[in-house]
């Protein structure tokens, strides 16, 4: 069972700050705070939400061209689609590194960090929370963010589908492939809500 008291959170923040730019660090704090609020709203573990939100982008600024090779060291296979957009791999790599370097061996936190960029079918509540908190944290500013923020507290599944729709449309406009996990996440929610 995960216990926040066993984790030196100030040390975690210091290590996070060393690993990220000021902007990304501020974003991570925003996601952690938003994740706690969402966890309170949806009855999830607030400690896990805080830690997963705080560390979700731990490997975001690692060189993208090296992410696939690093993931292989952890036994994680990388799809052709993910290889074509290596920046999306920071969630998977982050989950592995956080488990190893911080000793956070909690499956819900691991899953939430791993899939925060792509989503997946049948996401647990913590994974959903980190996925949407990453979109709506207070430092985010884009057309439609206020609508998404409101919806996240009304119906997290509808908010996730809206976020995925926006992501897919953006990828299509840019002529990029869509990660199958993202499509599977959308379809699963639509077929099971």
Residue 1 lies in a domain: no
Does residue 53 contact residue 33 with C-beta atoms inside 8 Å? yes
CATH number of the domain that residue 116 is part of: 1.10.3210.10
* pLDDT reported for residue 43: 97
User: pLDDT digit string (tens) for 7-32?
Assistant: 788 999 999 999 999 999 999 999 99
Sign of the Cα torsion 59, 32, 38, 143 reads negative
In degrees, to the nearest 5, what angle opens at C-alpha 183 toward C-alphas 40 and 155?
Answer: 25
Give the range of the structural domain holding residue 110, as residue numbers without chain letter. Answer: 8-192
Closest CA to 181 of 120, 90, 91: 120
d(CA 186, CA 172): 16
Per-residue model confidence (pLDDT) at position 118: 95
- Give every residue of the chain whose pLDDT is below 50, as ranges: none
Number of domains the chain contains: 1
Residue 103 lies in a domain: yes
Query: Does residue 27 lie in a domain region?
Result: yes
Is residue 3 assigned to a domain?
no
**In-domain check, residue 2:** no
Query: Which pLDDT score is estimated for 2?
Result: 55
pLDDT value at position 1? 54
Question: For the chain, how many helices (H) and strands (E)?
Answer: 11, 0
- pLDDT at position 144, please? 86
Residue 167 lies in a domain: yes
- What is the pLDDT at residue 193? 82
pLDDT at position 25: 97
Q: Please tell me the predicted confidence (pLDDT) of residue 62.
A: 94
Three state DSSP letters for 63-83: CHHHHHHHHHHCCCCCCHHHH
């Amino acid at each position: 069972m995960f216990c926040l008291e066993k984790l030196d959170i100030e040390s975690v923040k210091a290590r996070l700050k060393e690993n990220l730019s000021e902007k990304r660090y501020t974003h991570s704090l925003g996601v952690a705070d938003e994740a706690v609020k969402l966890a309170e709203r949806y009855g999830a573990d607030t400690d896990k939400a805080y830690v997963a939100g705080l560390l979700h982008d731990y490997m975001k600024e690692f060189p993208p061209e090296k992410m696939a090779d690093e993931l292989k060291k952890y036994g994680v296979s990388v799809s052709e689609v993910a290889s074509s957009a290596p920046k999306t791999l920071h969630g998977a790599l982050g989950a592995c590194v956080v488990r190893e370097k911080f000793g956070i061996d909690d499956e819900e936190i691991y899953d939430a960090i791993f899939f925060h960029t792509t989503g997946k079918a049948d996401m647990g509540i913590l994974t959903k929370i980190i996925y949407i908190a990453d979109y709506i944290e207070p430092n985010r500013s884009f057309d439609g963010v206020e609508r998404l923020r409101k919806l996240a507290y009304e119906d997290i599944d509808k908010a996730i589908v809206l976020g995925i729709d926006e992501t897919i449309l953006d990828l299509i406009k840019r002529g990029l492939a869509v990660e199958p996990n993202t499509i599977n996440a959308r379809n699963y929610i639509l077929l099971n809500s």
